[in-house]
Amino acid sequence: MPIILRLDRVMADRKMSLNELSERVGIANVNLSKIKTGKVSAIRFSTLEAICRELDCQPGDILEYVRE
């Protein structure tokens, strides 16, 4: 898949745990974990916005395009 999720990297840079981000964003731990591991095929803009707000980052910090 040419879109890679880098949420784990951004969370590590911010020293934020999955539980903490889950509470701040209001997303179930399981769903956030799927985003973190790249096991999703879609993400809502509202979810992406909330994650970026809490991690103080841009969507491009989380999403990366890689040519196949």
Q: Give 2's pLDDT tier (boundaries 50, 70, 90).
A: confident
The residue ranking higher by pLDDT, 2 or 30, is 30
Q: Which among 56, 10, 65 has a CA at the least distance from the CA of 35? A: 10
The stretch 28-47 carries a mean pLDDT of 93
Q: Give 1's pLDDT tier (boundaries 50, 70, 90).
A: low
The stretch 20-38 carries a mean pLDDT of 94
Q: What is the number of structural domains in the chain?
A: 1
- The residue range of the domain holding 45 is 3-65
The CATH number given to whatever domain includes residue 15 is: 1.10.260.40
Question: Residue 61 corresponds to which amino acid?
Answer: D
- The answer on pLDDT for 63 being more than 70 is yes
Token reading at 22: 């889950």
Taking phi first (over 0 means left), then psi (-120 to 50 degrees means alpha), and beta for anything else, what does residue 26 get? Answer: left
Question: Residue 20 corresponds to which amino acid?
Answer: E
Residue 52 has a CB neighbour count (10 Å cut-off) of 17
- The answer on pLDDT for 68 being more than 90 is no
